[in-house]
Amino acid sequence: MLSTKTAARTLVALVVASLAAIAMSATASGASATTITIWTDKDRLAAVTKVANAWAASKGATVQVVQKDFGQIRDNLKTVQTETAPDVIVGAHDWIGELSANGSIVPLFPSTATKKQFPAYALDAFSYGTAIKKLYGAPVALENIALVTNTKLAKVPTTWAQLQASALATKKKTKAAVGISVQQGSGGDAYHMYPLFSGLGGYIFGKNSAGNLDPSNIGLANPKFLKNAALIDQWNKLGLIRSSVDSSISQDLFLKGKTAFWFTGPWNLDTLKKSGLSFRISPFPAIVKGTKAVPFLGVQGFMVTKFAAAHNVESLAKDLVSSYMMQSGPQLELALANGRFPANLTAAKQVKDPQLKAFGAASAGGVPMPNIPQMNSVWGDLGAAWVRSTKGAGSIPAKRSFIGASRSIAQKIG
């Protein structure tokens, strides 16, 4: 049996050990509560690190920026262990539907004054909900294709008739395989073909009465588009576009002066500047009266993950994303570092590069790529519809091709 003195010493030791454990726990908790882990890709690593550290310094926090392959961020988020999971990710707006549905990301509630600094379509791109839409990300950068004209070969067209005539005249002169450099390839490319699709009256999904995308309203074979689909057959016959032209062929034809027009985006801006060509970037001219030919819009930004709450940093993570990252200063730095146009309207006015500004101007009226999960059932069939109707000899009529694609998509969506 312990003596009274020994028991007292033992009790004191236990109390001291308990207090030390509590102190260590508090220290560990405090450390984790002030560290934000961000996943980003190589292209944005330096800019994200710089901007996030500037925010952290003002908050007495720290950031850990982890480089990931952009295409794997979404998939890795599903399998990562909580202790190594990110609190914030950089991603694309069309991840929103899947990630919000499976609970991987959480809603954001920026102030009204902050939201007014963004075009409605940028906020809409990062919003999702079957009944009530919620914002799930901070839009930072816009990207879209535009019409690039070799001004030594053609004038910048203001009408489709001008574009077509110039394209075919150049094709005849250079003996190129096509009149327009727009990429498809054997698997199709619904993204690059979208200005032609929208310009003929096509759309992917309509909207319901609440303003949300309606996957039951598929617009690939809507009456307006089918009425104009014969133009695709004409383009095919004339050799204006060809499905055999993939990304590398499309670029090669334009850079070697074989075609006067190229459908491409800001990711090729450095290539254009180094090419020595005289070029202009502009919006797509209307193809049929009363219908705009507009591109798909990709919007990139930041999202707060469910793991931020598990790490006790959700409030900090939301402040970083929905407050700081949506300010014009960080927006300008983040967007320009990756050669993209800022989503923030004030930041957009500060862009000095005339070509990047031109890509931004060409985004006006563009359609954000649908962020609902059903979009995964669209890409393949829509691209294939273009391939079937623009492969030259052996093509099938566009009307029949797009009706078939619409039916196939409807079956997949169910």
The closest of 129, 144, 146 to 181, measured between CA atoms, is: 146
The closest of 112, 117, 45 to 347, measured between CA atoms, is: 117
22: which 2 tokens?
A: 């509590």
Q: What is the pLDDT of residue 33?
A: 53
CA–CA distance, 121 with 136 (Å, rounded to integer) = 14
* 169 contacts 163 by C-beta, under 8 angstroms: no
DSSP assignment of 138-154, as one string? EEEEEE--EEEEETTT-
**What backbone phi and psi angles, to 5 degrees, belong to 362?**
-70, -10
The closest of 222, 182, 215 to 390, measured between CA atoms, is: 182
Decide: helix, strand or coil at residue 296. strand
Q: What is the pLDDT along the chain (414 residues), one digit of tens a residue?
A: 444 444 444 444 443 444 344 333 333 333 345 899 999 999 999 999 999 999 999 999 999 999 999 989 999 999 999 999 999 999 999 999 999 999 999 999 999 999 999 999 999 999 998 778 899 999 999 999 999 999 999 999 999 999 999 999 999 999 999 999 999 999 999 999 999 999 999 999 999 888 889 999 999 999 999 999 999 999 999 999 999 999 999 999 999 999 999 999 999 999 999 999 999 999 999 999 999 999 999 999 999 999 999 999 999 999 999 999 999 999 999 999 889 999 999 999 999 999 999 999 999 999 999 999 999 999 999 999 999 999 999 999 999 999 999 999 999 998
Q: Which residues contact 14 (CB under 8 A, 6 or more apart)?
A: none
DSSP assignment of 177-196, as one string? S-SEE----TT--TTTTHHH
CA–CA distance, 121 with 367 (Å, rounded to integer) = 8
252: which 2 tokens?
A: 């090669």
CA–CA distance, 71 with 391 (Å, rounded to integer) = 30
The closest of 276, 260, 292 to 156, measured between CA atoms, is: 260
DSSP assignment of 88-100, as one string? EEEEEGGGHHHHH
Q: Burial level of 232, CB count in 10 A (0-12/13-18/19+)?
A: buried
The closest of 80, 97, 293, 289 to 180, measured between CA atoms, is: 293
CA–CA distance, 101 with 287 (Å, rounded to integer) = 38
CA–CA distance, 328 with 324 (Å, rounded to integer) = 9
Q: What is the pLDDT of residue 26?
A: 36
Q: What are the E-state strand segments in 144-278?
A: 146-150, 180-181, 205-207, 213-218, 261-264
Q: Dihedral through CA 178, CA 184, CA 190, CA 191, nearest 10? A: -90
CA–CA distance, 30 with 393 (Å, rounded to integer) = 69
CA–CA distance, 329 with 352 (Å, rounded to integer) = 14
Give pTM, 2 decimals: 0.88
Q: What is the pLDDT of residue 131?
A: 74
> Is the Cα dihedral 380, 385, 391, 395 positive or negative?
positive
